Amino acid sequence: MVMQGTDMKVAATPEDLDEFNTEDGYARWQQREGVRVIVDFAFEDLGKIELGPWERKGGTGAIINIPNDHLTNDSHVVEIRPGGKSEPEHHLYEEFCYIISGRGATNIWTDEAHKQTFEWHAGSLFAIPLNAWYQHFNGSGEEPARYISVTTAPPMMRLFNDLDFIFDTDSYLKGRFDAESDYFSGTGKLYKKRVWQSNFIPNAPDMALYGWQERGAGGINVMLEMAENSSKAHISEFPVGTYKKAHRHGPGAHLLILSGDAGYSTLWTKDDRSDLRKADWKVGGMVIVPGDDMFHQHFNTGNTRARYLAMYTGGMGLYKPRSNRGWLADKSVKEGGWQIEYEDEVRENHEHFEADLAAHGAPCRMKAFIPWCTGEVGPTSEREA
C-alpha cells in the first residue's frame, strides 16, 4: 500500500552504485593496529605461537580469529618484553586475561587517585572491568611475560562501527567496577554448588572444582562469574582414561589446556562425521569451537587428569546456552537438547579412543558407560576425586 502524499523512492541496489560501503569496524581496527592476524582454531602450544610487533601492548602479539565470519569474540596473544609495560587503555568490550608464562602486575582504575594493583603469575586468570583503565607490567627484568586475552571486540566494534567511541568513551560503569579494595583480592563466593563469583583467580590449574554429572565420566567443574561480564568462563577436569560426552553450542568457545600430558578434541557438523577434524592437545594448547552448532568432544588419553579453561561469549544472544528446559548443551538430543549420550555415539568413536590410549600407555576406564569398552570400570558417579 502506498500512502497518499508520500514521496516514495526506491533505494539504490549495490549494482546501481559505483562503490557499496561495507566497511567493517573490527577489520578497520585490525588494520590500524598493524598486528599479525592468525585464522585457525587449533593450537598445540600457545607459548610457541609466532608473534609480531605490538608496541602498544608492551612488545609483541597476534590476534586470533576463528575461520568463521560470525565472530562472537577473538583472542589476543601478547608478550610483554622483560621489564616492559603496556600503554594505558580502556575500551567498551569485555576481556578475560589468562597468564601463559611469566609474572607481573596490573593497575586498574577509573581515576588516577584510586588505582588498584594486583600481582599475577603463570596460571592466573582475571577479567578487565568494562571501560576501566588498565596497564600491565612485566615483573621480570630478564624473562618475557606472555598472556592470552579473550575479548568481545569483534561484535562490539561491528555494532558501533566507531573506534573513537569504543576506545575514548569516558563514562564510568559503576555496575562493573566499584573500586572496592578487595575487587582483585582473589576472594570469591560459591553459588549453586559450582558457580564461583570472583574477579581474580590466582591459580586456575589448581582451583577447587565440583561435580558435573551431566557431562559424564566422573568430570568436575566450576562455572566462573567475573566482573559482571556477559562473557562467561568455566574450568573442567576429567579423569585418566575417560572422555566427555559430545555436545554443541555456538562458536567461539576458547578451550585452554591447563593440565594433562595427552589428549585430543574432535569437531564435526555432518551426521555421517565425514568432516570430522581431530585436534591433538597438551598443556599450553588451545582448541576453539569454530562453527555454529558444531558438535565437539574432548578426550583424555594421557596418564594424568586433564583440565581445561573455557572462555566464551555468554550474552548478547550470541551463545544461546539456555532454554526453558535448562542448559541445552547438557540435554540429550533425544530430549531436544545439544548433547549426544554415550549410548548413542558411533562405535568407532570409542575404538579410536582406545587406540590412542594404547599408544600413550594409558588405561581405558569407560566400562561403566560404554558396553563395548575393552578396558576397566572407572568412575561411576558424578565425581571422581
Mean pLDDT score across all residues of the chain:
87
Question: Which segment of 5-9, 44-48, 108-112, 363-367 scores lowest on mean pLDDT?
Answer: 5-9
- Asked whether the beta carbons of 108 and 116 are under 8 A apart, the reply is yes
For residue 289, is it left (φ>0), alpha (ψ between -120 and 50) or beta? beta
pTM attached to this predicted model = 0.89
pLDDT grade for 214, boundaries at 50, 70 and 90: low
d(CA 358, CA 343): 23
d(CA 104, CA 185): 15
Q: Answer yes or no: is pLDDT of 256 > 60.
A: yes
User: DSSP character for 21?
Assistant: -
Q: How does pLDDT run across 60-105, given as a tens digit for each residue?
A: 999 999 998 888 999 999 999 999 999 999 999 999 999 999 999 9
Domains belonging to the chain, first-starting first, are: 34-160 (2.60.120.10), 189-360 (2.60.120.10)
User: DSSP character for 208?
Assistant: -
Q: For residue 179, what pLDDT is reported?
A: 64
Q: For residue 164, what pLDDT is reported?
A: 97
Q: Are strands 195-197 and 322-323 parallel, antiparallel or unpaired?
A: unpaired
Q: Answer yes or no: is pLDDT of 4 > 70.
A: no
Closest CA to 256 of 228, 277, 234, 239: 234
The residue that leads in pLDDT, 28 or 291, is 28
- Asked whether the beta carbons of 327 and 234 are under 8 A apart, the reply is no
pLDDT grade for 328, boundaries at 50, 70 and 90: confident
Question: Which segment of 9-13, 15-19, 86-90 scores lowest on mean pLDDT?
Answer: 9-13
Mean pLDDT across the stretch 19-26? 73
Q: Answer yes or no: is pLDDT of 314 > 60.
A: yes
Task: With H, G, I as helix, E, B as strand and everything else as coil, classify residue 33.
Answer: helix
Q: Answer yes or no: is pLDDT of 316 > 50.
A: no
pLDDT grade for 213, boundaries at 50, 70 and 90: low
Q: For residue 383, what pLDDT is reported?
A: 56
- Asked whether the beta carbons of 381 and 329 are under 8 A apart, the reply is no
Q: Answer yes or no: is pLDDT of 28 > 50.
A: yes
Phi, psi of 54 (to 5 degrees): -150, 75
Closest CA to 205 of 96, 125, 105: 125
Helix (H) or strand (E) holding 385: none
Q: How many CB atoms lie within 10 A of CB 130?
A: 21
Q: Answer yes or no: is pLDDT of 148 > 90.
A: yes
Mean pLDDT across the stretch 259-285? 93
Q: Percent of the chain at pLDDT above 90?
A: 67
Closest CA to 300 of 375, 226, 224: 375
Residue with cell 570469591: 188
Task: With H, G, I as helix, E, B as strand and everything else as coil, classify residue 136.
Answer: strand
d(CA 249, CA 72): 12
Q: How does pLDDT run across 149-201, given as a tens digit for each residue?
A: 999 999 999 999 999 999 999 988 877 887 666 788 888 899 988 899 999 99
Contacts of 372 (CB under 8 A, 6+ apart): 347, 350
